[in-house]
Homo-oligomer: A and B are copies of this chain.
Amino acid sequence: MKKLINSPEDVVREALEGMELAHPNHLRVSYEPFYIVRKDAPVKGKVALVSGGGSGHEPMHGGFVGMGMLSAACPGHVFTSPTPDQMFEAGKVVSGGAGILQIVKNYTGDVMNFELAAEMLKEEGIAVETVMTDDDVAVEDSLYTAGRRGVGLTILMEKILGAAAEKGMPLKDIKALGDKIRKSGRSMGMALTACTVPHAGKPSFELAENEMEVGIGIHGEPGRRRVPMAPADQITEMLMEPVLTDLPFNKGDTIILFVNGMGGTPLIELYIVYRKAAAIAEKHGLKIARCLVGSYITSLEMAGASVTALRVDDQMLQLWDAPVNTPALRWGV
C-alpha cells in the first residue's frame, strides 16, 4: 500500500486538520467527535443541512460545507458510517431554530446511525427531517433488500437543498423538494482499478489488465459484474443506458448531467466520458441544462467514473445556479 499518509489510524483526523487549516473562511472542525460545520453556524432562522458518511469520498461531504450547501458534515472512519453522537453534536451546533434536514445516502449503516441521531436531536426539541438518496441503478430495487445505494445524486441534492435552505425555505418544503430530487435522479459507476482501505493495507479486489468492474458503489466493493475492458465510448454507454432507461428519462426532459471521477482518474479522461455521455443524452432527446465534470464523490484512489442524470424543473435549476461558497463547489460569490 502506497499512500501519502502517516498511519491508518490518523488518516481521518489529519485530513480534517489539513482541511481546517486550508479553509478557515469556510469551516470549523470538531475532533471529539468528528464533525465539520460552516464557519458562521448556526445561521439563525434557517434550516440546517447535515450530511455525512464514511471518509474516503473526498471532497464529499466536508468539501461541501459552507454558504449555500451543507451546514455540517460528519465523517466516519474510511468507508464506515459515522456514529450517532457525531450527527447529534453537529446538529446541536448548526441548529438555527428552523430545524435540521439530514441528507443520508442509503446504506444500512448510514441509515441506522442517522436515525439514532435524529431521535436524539428530537429529544432535544429540534425538528428533524431526513431525505435519502438511492440513485444507483446498478443495484436492483426491491422491498426485500437494503435497496439501492446513494451515490452521485447526493452532491446534486446537497447543492440544490443547500440553496433552498439559504433562501429560507421551511423544513417541510425542503424535505418535499429532497424527496422529489430523490425520485428524479439516477446514477451508475464503473472501476478500472480497486482501491486500498488504509487499515486493510491491500486492494479490496484484484482486476486483471483486461478487466473492469461495472456497477460499483463508492466503497471499493466489487461491482455487479466483471467484464472485459472496452473503449471509453462503450463504457459510457454501459453506464448511460441503464441510467436513462431506469427512471425513465423522457424525450424533452431537462437534466443536469454529472460525470464523476472515482479519485484516481485524471480529468482528461472524464472529459472524454462527458463528451460521449452528452451525446447519448442528446440522442435520447434530453436537454442538458447544466453539467458537472470532476472528482466529487470518490473511492479513495480508485480509477473509474460514474454518471448521474437529474431531471430538473425551473425551481431546481434556479437553486442549482444560486451562489455557493464551499471548498469544493463555488460560484456566484
Contacts and interface: CB of A to CB of B under 8 A. Distances in A.
9 tightest A-B contacts by CB? A18-B271, A18-B275, A4-B269, A58-B267, A15-B271, A18-B274, A264-B264, A263-B266, A2-B192
Nearest to A212: B2
What is the copy number of this chain in the assembly?
Answer: 2
A160 to B, nearest CB: 19
B18 A272 contact: yes
B301 A4 contact: no
Nearest to A191: B2
A125 interface: no
A6 interface: yes
Contacts of A5: 231-232, 269, 272
Contact of A233 (B1, B6, B304): B6
B232 A4 contact: yes
Given A267-B58, A271-B15, A192 B4 contact: yes
27 contacts: A4-B192, A4-B265, A4-B269, A4-B272, A4-B304, A6-B231, A6-B232, A6-B233, A6-B272, A14-B271, A14-B272, A15-B272, A17-B271, A17-B275, A18-B293, A19-B271, A21-B275, A22-B274, A22-B278, A22-B293, A263-B266, A264-B303, A266-B298, A267-B295, A267-B298, A268-B300, A301-B303
Interface string A278-314: 1000000000000101010010110111000000000
Contacts of A4: 192, 232, 235, 265, 269-270, 272-273, 304-305
Interface of A: 1-7, 11, 14-19, 21-22, 55-56, 58-59, 63, 192-193, 209, 212, 229, 231-233, 235, 263-275, 278, 291, 293, 295, 298, 300-301, 303-305, 330-333
A234 to B, nearest CB: 9
A304 B231 CA distance: 27
Given A4-B232, A22-B271, A63-B267, 6 more contacts: A14-B271, A18-B275, A56-B266, A264-B265, A266-B300, A295-B295
A58 B267 CA distance: 6
A54 to B, nearest CB: 11
